[in-house]
Amino acid sequence: MMTPLARPRPATAPPGPTGLANAIRHMSELRQDISGLAARLGRKYGPIVSFQFGPIPMYAVTAPETMYEVLVEQAAKFHKTTLTKRVLGPSLGNGLLVSDGEFWRRQRRLAQPAFHIKRIEGYAETMVQFTQQMLAGWRSDEMREIDDDMMKLTLAIVTKTLFGTELSASDAHDIGKAVAIGQENSDLMFKSVFTLPPWVPTARNKRGTWAVQTIQNVVMRVIAERRASKEDKGDLLSMLLLASDGDSADGTTSGMTDQQARDEAVTLMLAGHETTSNTLTWAWYSLSQHPEIEAKLYAELRQVLAGRAPTLADLAQLPYTDAIIKEILRLYPAAYITAREPIEDVVIGGHTIKAHHAVLVPIYALHHDPRYYDQPEAFRPDRWLENGSTLEKSLPKGAYLPFGMGPRVCIGNMFASMEARLLLATIAQRWQFRLAPDQRVEIDPLVTLCPKYGMKMEVVSREL
């Protein structure tokens, strides 16, 4: 006799804390220690958790398998969240970081060739050259705000690789100032639950509007000049402007409008410097606290480079340099959290997630999880090299994701990893860093993972 097929049980809501007291507590906890909250809920309730942020229902995926479902397997059912769009939309317009659906898919296809390995390899020289120019201004034993130095350096590099030679010194100065204001405003909006909309003329909103307009005007002017010259100057902007979907039936090609190209250029400029800058700042801090690791790095650089500047070809010979960047991206993932909203009800980890509710993807929490990393709080670059570097291969998918994963994985991941290694090698070969005695160090989870009190360090020149 045939047995009737068991009818699948309807998926239930994910487990999680309930009650008003928890809902209120999560409001302050989420803003102070979003990663800690996600880790705590994960330990108690499992790989998918529901909780209240005040009156707002939310979810968090707290295990590699549920992160993988959200970011990869069921990615098509998710969009970026309302909060992401509210915080980043005013400066990034409809650029890649915030756009969704068919529009995002087309823009990603058009922008992808700009990040082809062959194209970005050409930027290695610029990265090293700009670093050397910065170092030429340093004096041994002086105190420097290293976080500021790294921010200025990575902004100069991404601006140069985007726009080539077309920015005047005063444009670059205005952009630097506007970017700093934009970052401050986004961080404030990210931290506060209720902010006044940008059109309310508060002093902060006025400064924010000035910052956005300044950046957009400069970028629009460069786009107009580039369109008129029709030249491929080998930079990222040329690639964005040359990108097209191919010839259409009537013989025309379809590419980006000026406004779309502007949004993408501004997105790349903003997404492409603060993350790398924070990564390097955390690297200098960690090395200053671990002289034995710093000595090992220096030994590798001396042996392979013997005092000359690194080139792209050298990177393959610098495994320890690579392991340090991997370990910093694990311990201090600049993009420490991301989030999505499902566009329809969806089943994740066997539980129903309601449409349009935010799902947190706490990257930092996974990178610090003792189930996947031995001594997770320790700075141990060797973990990436031991036993024939099996760690990366043996980790479950979703346990190490500094650049995200799936269709929305960071478009600049190769650019960033090349830049971080080249800058580390160029600087560490010539300079050592000592933390200023009065410098407090704490992470500040803003839009990216920042050092809360800055990073003042003494820079000491090495005898070569």
Q: Which residues lie near ligand HEM (CB under 6 A)?
A: 96-97, 108, 158, 267-268, 271-272, 275-276, 279, 334-335, 338, 402-404, 408, 410-412, 415-416
For ligand HEM, give the closer residue by CB, 379 or 415: 415
For ligand HEM, give the closer residue by CB, 239 or 335: 335
Q: How far is the CB of 395 from ligand HEM (least distance, A)?
A: 16
Contact 114, 245 (CB under 8 A): no
Q: How far is the CB of 418 from ligand HEM (least distance, A)?
A: 9
For ligand HEM, give the closer residue by CB, 129 or 461: 129
Contacts of 133 (CB under 8 A, 6+ apart): none
Buried b (16+ CB within 10 A) or exposed e, 107-135: beebbeebbeeebbeebbebbbebbeebb
Segment (H or E) for 351 = strand 351-353
Q: How far is the CB of 415 from ligand HEM (least distance, A)?
A: 5
For ligand HEM, give the closer residue by CB, 266 or 391: 266
Contact 407, 70 (CB under 8 A): no
Q: How far is the CB of 97 from ligand HEM (least distance, A)?
A: 4
Q: How far is the CB of 411 from ligand HEM (least distance, A)?
A: 5
Let me know if 313 is exposed, middle or buried by CB neighbors in 10 A (0-12, 13-18, 19+): exposed
For ligand HEM, give the closer residue by CB, 96 or 427: 96
For ligand HEM, give the closer residue by CB, 272 or 458: 272
**Can you state the angle between helices 146-163 and 169-191, rounded to 10 degrees?**
120
What is the three-class DSSP state of 104?
helix
d(CA 365, CA 435): 26
For ligand HEM, give the closer residue by CB, 279 or 429: 279
Only one residue has tokens 């726009």, namely 163
Q: How far is the CB of 408 from ligand HEM (least distance, A)?
A: 4
Q: How far is the CB of 458 from ligand HEM (least distance, A)?
A: 25
For ligand HEM, give the closer residue by CB, 100 or 258: 100
Q: Give the phi and the psi of residue 195 in degrees, each rounded to 5.
A: -125, 155
Q: How far is the CB of 264 from ligand HEM (least distance, A)?
A: 8
What is the three-class DSSP state of 285?
helix
Closest residue to ligand HEM, judged by C-beta, is 412
* Residue among 128, 149, 154 at smallest CA distance from 137: 149
What is the three-class DSSP state of 462?
coil
